[in-house]
Chain A
Amino acid sequence: MKPFTYERATTPAEAAAAVVRHPGAKFIAGGTNLLDLMKLEIEAPQHLVDVNTLKLDRIERTPDGGVRIGALVDNTALASDERIRKDYGVLSRAIVAGASGQLRNKATTAGNLLQRTRCPYFYDTNQPCNKRKPGSGCAAIGGYSRQLAVIGVSNACIATYPGDMAIALRVLDAKVETVNAGGQTRTIPMADFHRLPGDTPHIETALAQGELITAVTLPRPIQGTHIYHKVRDRNSYAFALVSIAAVIQRDGRGRVAVGGVAHKPWRVETAEPAMPQGASAVASRLMAGAKPTHDNAFKVPLVERTLAAVMAEAKTA
C-alpha cells in the first residue's frame, strides 16, 4: 500500500472541500472496497478523508411518503430496517444476497453504490486495462470473459457493475443526493448515476471529483411482490452471474432491473409493458442489441430464464 495522510471529516461540505484540496484524495467509508484495492495499489490515494464522523447514518421518512437513507447507513442496518423490510422488500433481499455478514456490517450505502468492478484483469496489475490505466487496452476482450458484460459494452471495456443493492435501487427509482465543496447540493436519478463504459471506462459515475454522497432517497412504496433473484456459482458469498430485481403486481404488470450483465444496473423501461406477456417478450426487448462474447453468451438466455423464475414466484406469492 502507498503511504497516505488521513483526516476525519467535520461537515459534508468540508469533507468535499478536503478531497478537492488534496490532489489524489479519496473519501473512505466502510473501507471494504477501497482498502482492498489500495493493498493491490490499484487505488493509491495520497490522502483519505474519513466520512464516518458525518452522522449521515439515519433512515428517515420524507414528506412525500418515501424514505431518505443516509450515505453512511451500513448494509446490515438498511436491510434490517422495518420500513425497508415491509415496503421495499426487494432492497432488503438484494442487500442480504451480497457479500458476507462481516462485510455488510461495514459496507455503507454510498460505498456500496461506488464499489468497483470485479473484472479479473482490472485486479491483475500486470494486464492492460483501460479502466485501471486509461489507454492501455483491455485484456478481457479476447481474454477470459465468463463473468463480464453482455450489453452496453464498448470496444474499450466489457466490465460489469458487480453490486446487488444498486439493482434494487434502480428498480425502485431511487435518487442519489450529493453535496460539493462549495456546499451546493444536487439529486441524481439512479438511471443516470452509473455510466456505460464508452471510450472512458475509468469514469464510472456521474459524480464530480470531491462530490460527496449524502443520502439515497426512495419514492413512496410501490405495491406488489418484491423479489431479488441472484444466480451465482455458489449459493452464498459470490458475485452475481445474473441477478434480477423485480416488483410485480397481481395482474402481471411490473418492473424489472438486471444485474451482472452491464456496466450499470440494466433496466429498459420500454420493455416493461410486455410483462403480462411473459419472460420471453420482456427479455427480448431488455436484451436487444446484446453483444456477448463466446464465454458469456450463456448470460443472455439466463436472463430470460431467471425472469421466468421470478414471474412464476410472483404468481405463487
Chain B
Amino acid sequence: MIERSGIQATRRGVLVGGSASVALTTLPLGSAEAAPAVEPPKMKVSLQVNGKQATLELDTRTTLLDALREHMHLTGSKKGCDHGQCGACTVMVNGKRINSCLSLAVMHEGDKVTTIEGLGMPGNLHPMQAAFVKHDGFQCGYCTPGQICSAVAVLDEIEAGVPSHASASLTARPQASNAEMRERMSGNICRCGAYSNILEAMHEVAGTDVAGARA
C-alpha cells in the first residue's frame, strides 16, 4: 500500500511539474502563490464501503471515485474518462451500479458502496471474477474492475426483470441472452476488445448459453 501510493505520488509529481513549467512561461512568479485566498469548502460524509464504515472530511468537489481511490486507497475502481462515458469507474451503491466519477462523495451519506475489492480478493474470488479469469475476459485489465461490477449488476437487473433496449417485449421476463447482455454492457468500453470473452464469462455465471437458455 505504502509502495503503491509512493508510485502514485511520483506520477503526479511528473504531471504537476509538466503543467507548472508551462504556467511559468505565461505567469509572473508570484501569481501562483497568491491564488486561492479562501480554503475550498469541506464537508464530512459517512458511508459504508465494502462492509466497513468510513467517515471522511472532503472538499465538496470530490467525486465518489476520487474518494475511493485517493482517500480510501481502493484503487481497483479506475478512472478512464471521468465523464460517464467509459464505465471504468463502475461501482455498486445500495446494490445498483453507477458511474462513480459522475457522483459527489458528499451525496452518499449513509450509502453502502461495493467496489471490485468488496466483490472478492485473490484467494476468495467472486464467481464473476473467477469466470473472467477462466475465459480471459480482459487483456490490459484497465476496464476490468468496472466490467466485473457491471456484469454482476447486469445479471441482477435481468433477474429483477428490468427491461432493456434489446428486450423484444416489455412485459415478458428478459433472458440472459447474448443480445441482452451486450446491450446492457454497452456502458463499459474495452479498448482491448475483450467483449466476446466477457460475454462468455457472464454466460458461465448466469448458467446460460448464447441464446439465454439455461444450460
Pair B41/A3 contact, Cβ less than 8 Å? yes
A89 to B106, CA, bound (A): 36
A290 within 8 A of B: no
Pair A101/B150 contact, Cβ less than 8 Å? yes
By a CB distance below 8 angstroms, the chain B residues around A66 are none
B186 to nearest A CB, angstroms?
A: 4
Total inter-chain residue pairs, C-beta < 8 Å: 104
B80 within 8 A of A: no
Of the candidate stretches A102-110, A184-192, A201-209, A294-302, the one touching chain B is A102-110
B104 within 8 A of A: yes
Pair B103/A106 contact, Cβ less than 8 Å? yes
A260 to B41, CA, bound (A): 39
Considering only CB atoms, which chain B residue lies closest to A100 in the complex?
B187
Within A12-37, the residues touching B (CB, 8 Å) are: 28, 30-32, 35-36
Pair A35/B186 contact, Cβ less than 8 Å? no
B56 within 8 A of A: no
Pair B43/A6 contact, Cβ less than 8 Å? yes
By a CB distance below 8 angstroms, the chain B residues around A96 are 163-165, 167
A85 within 8 A of B: yes
Contact partner, A6, options B104, B157, B184, Cβ 8 Å: B104
* Contacts known (A6-B106, A80-B163, A103-B187); A89 close to B170, Cβ less than 8 A: yes
Contact partner, B104, options A5, A35, A76, Cβ 8 Å: A35
By a CB distance below 8 angstroms, the chain B residues around A6 are 41, 43, 60, 104, 106
Chain B residue total in the interface (Cβ 8 A): 42
By a CB distance below 8 angstroms, the chain A residues around B107 are 28, 31, 50, 52
By a CB distance below 8 angstroms, the chain B residues around A80 are 160-163
By a CB distance below 8 angstroms, the chain A residues around B154 are 101
A interface residue count range (under 10 / 10 to 19 / 20 to 34 / 35 or more): 35 or more
Pair B104/A101 contact, Cβ less than 8 Å? no
Contact partner, B99, options A103, A236, A237, Cβ 8 Å: A103
B126 within 8 A of A: no
Considering only CB atoms, which chain A residue lies closest to B154 in the complex?
A101
A169 within 8 A of B: no
A273 to B101, CA, bound (A): 47
Within B39-87, the residues touching A (CB, 8 Å) are: 40-41, 43, 59-61, 63, 82-84, 87
A48 to B171, CA, bound (A): 39
By a CB distance below 8 angstroms, the chain A residues around B41 are 3-6
B178 within 8 A of A: no
Considering only CB atoms, which chain A residue lies closest to B43 in the complex?
A6
Considering only CB atoms, which chain B residue lies closest to A86 in the complex?
B171
B164 to nearest A CB, angstroms?
A: 5
B102 within 8 A of A: yes
* Contacts known (A50-B107, A52-B107, A80-B161); A36 close to B171, Cβ less than 8 A: no
Considering only CB atoms, which chain B residue lies closest to A8 in the complex?
B109
Which of A4, A36, A102 neighbours the largest number of chain B CB atoms within 10 Å of its CB? A102
By a CB distance below 8 angstroms, the chain B residues around A102 are 84, 87, 90, 97-99, 150, 187
Residue interface bits B184-195, CB-to-A below 8 A is 1, else 0: 111110000000
B96 within 8 A of A: yes
By a CB distance below 8 angstroms, the chain A residues around B104 are 6, 28, 31, 35, 48
Pair A4/B171 contact, Cβ less than 8 Å? no
A177 to nearest B CB, angstroms?
A: 24
Extra inter-chain contacts (20) besides given A6-B43, A28-B107, A86-B171, CB under 8 Å: A3-B41, A28-B104, A30-B102, A32-B99, A36-B84, A76-B96, A79-B163, A85-B163, A85-B170, A92-B170, A96-B163, A97-B165, A100-B187, A101-B185, A101-B187, A103-B102, A105-B96, A106-B103, A236-B182, A237-B187
Q: List 19 A-B contacts (CB under 8 A).
A: A3-B41, A4-B41, A6-B60, A35-B63, A36-B84, A36-B102, A76-B96, A79-B163, A80-B162, A85-B171, A86-B171, A92-B163, A96-B164, A101-B150, A102-B84, A102-B187, A105-B98, A236-B183, A236-B186
A-B complex: 3 closest residue pairs judged by Cβ atoms:
A100-B187, A3-B40, A236-B186
Q: A residues engaging B (CB < 8 A)?
A: 1, 3-6, 8, 28, 30-32, 35-36, 39, 48, 50, 52, 76, 79-80, 85-86, 89, 92-93, 96-97, 99-103, 105-106, 236-237
